[in-house]
């Protein structure tokens, strides 16, 4: 999934990075090439248009020069005057005219033949056409008034006669011959006086040669000549794509958005893309040619002109496609080399996440990915080692913990747990509770009925906690029990225990201990306190007093320690409460101790409680005080209520 997305992204980025610059460069190159080619083609068309205009100008100029030279021959004036006179005086069919005609005809005929003209006409200033080499229908008519007035011949005469300079007619269809031709005419002067006009009927070969010169115009280019004729644009030469177009093809004048053929005929010069008479897009250059009163268009099909551009376009697209292919392949390959290892790494992490550390990542790469895979494998190995170590450590810990649990059970087993312990003895009520801070505590309590009247009871606290303390406690308890057989008073008992505990006490452990003996019939308690918290005596009338600290130091410190014996007498319904510092030093909120004051307040409010009730009340108060904070020390309570002697004195009191 990640691999696919990565490779998609990579392909996308590759395409972006490679193709965007390529597209920009290709577009710029293409646009530049198109501009350059268009300008080059246009320049070529300009040159051709110039050539064609020059060629037409040269044709016109050559004929004008010919007719000018002819008009200046003295023979020309002589001929016009003689012929006009004979024509006017005797008539065109007369012998006199024929005489004059014979005089001039050979010269003029040879001139026409020499210069390859169709015909030559001499026109009097009046407009009468008095001579022509061919003698066609125009002969004898008047060019100012007759039917030939509107022909090219009439036009040429009119212009030469009016402007008194050599003039050239427009190209037009001449009615007699039906050919498309023009006339050059020049005034004929004699003694600076104009006597007539000489006109040459042109062979249209030269113009057609110019028009049909397709040099530089490729397969489709051509030169088109047009003229405005009324409301139409008239094509006056054959077209490359329509040989019969001359003076046949007409297109209505359109005005705005006109084709070059119309614009050039109207007198505009220009260049640009246009649509020609076939509806074909062309690149054209156009001119007005005043010498023949026509518009000239040189054009070439856009398709042909821009063929190199089309090739360039194809090439560009092919190149773009090839680049795209290469880029995609490269991107995919890179994606494989980068994304492949990443995918494997991802799978490996997933395996490790599931707990399978055994299989290393199989990535062979020399780059950062390869190094990442190596580190990954190293990390997995170390993780495996750590887990192994952790496992063995945990096993050891568990073993110790189970042993400690056993020790705790043993320790707890040592302490008497059955309450009331002496149900058959109503004279006293005894209850005890121990809450170890750890699995194995150092507190202990015990009681023993020796004979019928002597109840030994003890509470102690080994300094320190854990296994050593519990062992020391076990030793202490064992010694206590075994020493009972001696029948000693509590002070002697404590002193004896002290001597035993001091011997071989390499660990320098010590224990505080309160030991007392109740004489059941009398309620008298003798005791000895070895450094322990003094117990409270709760009197039946409600007063509370701590037993005087009579005894000696804590046990196990010095074997020379002396212990005194204390004495107190319990009245019926009095209760003794023994406790360890786990009660008074229980830590509550704000690191505050429970303290004796709270203990005393708790005890004082329950004068009529049984031993069990008292113990439970105190332990509840401590639990409330500590509010769930784990106890730092063992907590032990022992309550001994005296009910009076066997004769039922307890009942008296209640």
Residues lying near another protein in the complex (CB under 8 A) are found at 50, 53, 155, 159, 161-165, 170, 187, 189, 192-194, 266-269, 287-288, 290-291, 293
Q: Token match 């490269």: residue?
A: 330
Minimum CB–partner distance for residue 69 and another protein (Å): 12
Q: Report the distance separating Cα 355 and Cα 370, nearest Å.
A: 23
Minimum CB–partner distance for residue 266 and another protein (Å): 5
**491 Cβ contact list (under 8 Å, min separation 6):** 526, 528, 551, 563, 564, 565
CB closer to another protein, 289 vs 327: 289
Cα within 13 Å of Cα(13), Cβ side: 10
41-to-52, 270, 271, 304 alpha-carbon distances in Å: 16, 14, 11, 10
Minimum CB–partner distance for residue 61 and another protein (Å): 10
What is the rounded end-to-end Cα distance, in angstroms, of the chain?
Answer: 86
Q: Rounded to the nearest 5°, which phi and psi values hold at 102?
A: -60, -30
Angle of helix 611-626 versus helix 595-604 axis, rounded to 10 = 140
Which H or E run contains 478? helix 466-483
Minimum CB–partner distance for residue 270 and another protein (Å): 9
CB closer to another protein, 267 vs 381: 267
CB closer to another protein, 119 vs 158: 158
**111 Cβ contact list (under 8 Å, min separation 6):** 70, 117, 120
CB closer to another protein, 62 vs 329: 62
Minimum CB–partner distance for residue 21 and another protein (Å): 18
Minimum CB–partner distance for residue 170 and another protein (Å): 7
Minimum CB–partner distance for residue 164 and another protein (Å): 5
Minimum CB–partner distance for residue 254 and another protein (Å): 13
Minimum CB–partner distance for residue 192 and another protein (Å): 5
Question: Is the link from the previous residue into 420 a cis peptide, with omega within 30 of 0?
Answer: yes
Minimum CB–partner distance for residue 256 and another protein (Å): 11
CB closer to another protein, 286 vs 444: 286
CB closer to another protein, 183 vs 457: 183
Minimum CB–partner distance for residue 13 and another protein (Å): 16
CB closer to another protein, 50 vs 405: 50
DSSP state string for 28-89: HHHHHHHHHHHHHHHHHHHHHHHHHHHHHHHHHHHHHHHHHHHHHSHHHHHHHHHHHHHHHH
Minimum CB–partner distance for residue 153 and another protein (Å): 15
CB closer to another protein, 170 vs 489: 170
Q: Report the distance separating Cα 388 and Cα 519, nearest Å.
A: 63
Minimum CB–partner distance for residue 267 and another protein (Å): 3
Cβ-in-10-Å burial (0-12, 13-18, 19+) of 530 comes to buried
CB closer to another protein, 268 vs 419: 268
Which DSSP letter does residue 631 get? P
Cβ atoms of residues 373 and 361 within 8 Å: yes
* Pairs from 560-565 (Cβ < 8 Å, separation ≥ 24): 561/495, 561/498, 562/495, 563/491, 563/492, 563/494, 563/495, 563/498, 563/528, 563/530, 564/491, 564/528, 565/489, 565/490, 565/491, 565/526, 565/527, 565/528
CB closer to another protein, 293 vs 308: 293
Which DSSP letter does residue 451 get? T
Burial letters for 265-300: b for 16+ Cβ neighbours within 10 Å, e otherwise? beeeeebeebebbeeeebbbbbbbbebbbbbbbbbb
626-to-292, 432, 584, 588 alpha-carbon distances in Å: 127, 20, 11, 4
Cβ atoms of residues 298 and 286 within 8 Å: yes
CB closer to another protein, 38 vs 159: 159
Minimum CB–partner distance for residue 46 and another protein (Å): 10
CB closer to another protein, 192 vs 215: 192
CB closer to another protein, 182 vs 331: 182
Pairing of strands 551-552, 524-530: parallel
Q: Report the distance separating Cα 149 and Cα 141, nearest Å.
A: 9
Cβ atoms of residues 414 and 405 within 8 Å: no
CB closer to another protein, 193 vs 417: 193
Where are the strands (E) in 501-605, listed by range? 511-519, 524-530, 536-538, 544-546, 551-552, 566-569, 574-579
Q: Report the distance separating Cα 249 and Cα 235, nearest Å.
A: 6
Cβ-in-10-Å burial (0-12, 13-18, 19+) of 345 comes to middle
CB closer to another protein, 183 vs 527: 183
Minimum CB–partner distance for residue 41 and another protein (Å): 17
CB closer to another protein, 255 vs 451: 255
Minimum CB–partner distance for residue 276 and another protein (Å): 21
Cβ atoms of residues 212 and 244 within 8 Å: no
């Amino acid at each position: 999934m990640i691999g696919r997305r990565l490779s998609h992204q990579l392909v996308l980025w590759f395409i972006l990075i490679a193709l965007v610059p390529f597209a920009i460069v290709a577009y710029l190159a293409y646009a530049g090439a198109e501009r350059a080619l268009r300008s080059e083609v246009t320049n070529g068309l300009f040159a051709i248009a110039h050539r064609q205009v020059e060629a037409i100008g040269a044709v016109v100029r050559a004929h004008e020069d010919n007719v000018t030279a002819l008009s200046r021959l003295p023979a020309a004036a002589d001929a016009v005057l003689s012929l006009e006179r004979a024509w006017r005086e005797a008539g065109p069919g007369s012998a006199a005219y024929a005489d004059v005609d014979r005089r001039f005809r050979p010269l003029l005929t040879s001139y026409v033949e020499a210069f390859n003209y169709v015909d030559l006409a001499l026109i009097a200033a009046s407009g009468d056409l008095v001579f022509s080499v061919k003698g066609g229908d125009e002969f004898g008519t008047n060019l100012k008034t007759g039917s030939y007035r509107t022909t090219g011949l009439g036009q040429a005469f009119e212009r030469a006669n009016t402007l008194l300079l050599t003039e050239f007619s427009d190209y037009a269809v001449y009615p007699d011959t039906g050919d498309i031709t023009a006339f050059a005419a020049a005034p004929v002067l004699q003694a600076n006086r104009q006597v007539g006009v000489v006109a040459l009927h042109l062979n249209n070969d030269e113009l057609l040669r110019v028009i049909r010169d397709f040099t530089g115009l490729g397969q489709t280019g051509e030169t088109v000549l047009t003229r405005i004729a009324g409301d139409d644009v008239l094509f006056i030469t054959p077209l490359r794509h329509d040989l019969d177009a001359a003076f046949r093809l007409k297109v209505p004048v359109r005005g705005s958005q006109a084709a070059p053929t119309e614009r050039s005929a109207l007198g505009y010069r220009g260049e640009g893309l246009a649509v020609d008479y076939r509806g074909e897009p062309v690149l054209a250059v156009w001119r007005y040619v005043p010498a023949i009163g026509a518009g000239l268009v040189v054009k070439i099909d856009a398709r042909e002109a821009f063929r190199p551009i089309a090739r360039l376009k194809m090439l560009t697209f092919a190149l773009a496609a090839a680049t795209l292919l290469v880029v995609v392949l490269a991107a995919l390959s890179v994606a494989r080399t980068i994304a492949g290892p990443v995918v494997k790494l991802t799978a490996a992490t997933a395996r490790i996440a599931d707990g399978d550390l055994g299989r290393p990542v199989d990535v062979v790469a020399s780059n950062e990915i390869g190094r990442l895979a190596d580190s990954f494998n190293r990390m997995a190995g170390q993780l495996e080692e750590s887990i192994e170590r952790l496992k063995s450590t945990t096993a050891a810990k568990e073993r110790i913990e189970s042993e400690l649990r056993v020790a705790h059970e043993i320790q707890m087993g040592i302490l008497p747990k059955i309450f009331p312990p002496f149900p058959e003895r109503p004279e006293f009520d005894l209850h005890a509770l121990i809450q170890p801070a750890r699995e194995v505590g150092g507190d202990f309590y015990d009681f023993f009925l020796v004979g019928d009247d002597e109840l030994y009871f003890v509470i102690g606290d080994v300094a320190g906690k854990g296994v050593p303390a519990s062992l020391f406690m076990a030793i202490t308890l064992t010694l206590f029990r075994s020493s009972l057989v001696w029948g000693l008073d509590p002070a002697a008992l404590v002193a004896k225990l002290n001597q035993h505990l001091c011997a071989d006490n390499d660990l320098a452990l010590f224990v505080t201990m309160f030991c007392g003996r109740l004489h059941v019939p009398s309620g008298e308690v003798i005791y000895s306190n070895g450094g322990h918290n003094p117990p409270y005596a709760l009197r039946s009338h409600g007063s509370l007093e701590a037993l005087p600290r009579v005894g000696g130091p804590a046990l196990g410190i010095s074997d020379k320690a002396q212990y005194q014996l204390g004495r107190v007498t319990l009245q019926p319904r009095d209760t003794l409460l023994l406790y360890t510092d786990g009660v008074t030093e229980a830590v509550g909120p704000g690191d505050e101790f429970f303290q004796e004051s709270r203990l005393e307040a708790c005890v004082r409010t329950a004068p009529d409680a049984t031993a069990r009730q008292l113990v439970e009340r105190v332990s509840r108060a401590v639990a409330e005080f500590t509010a769930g904070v784990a106890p730092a020390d063992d907590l032990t309570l022992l309550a001994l209520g005296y009910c009076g002697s066997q004769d039922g004195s307890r009942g008296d009191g209640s």
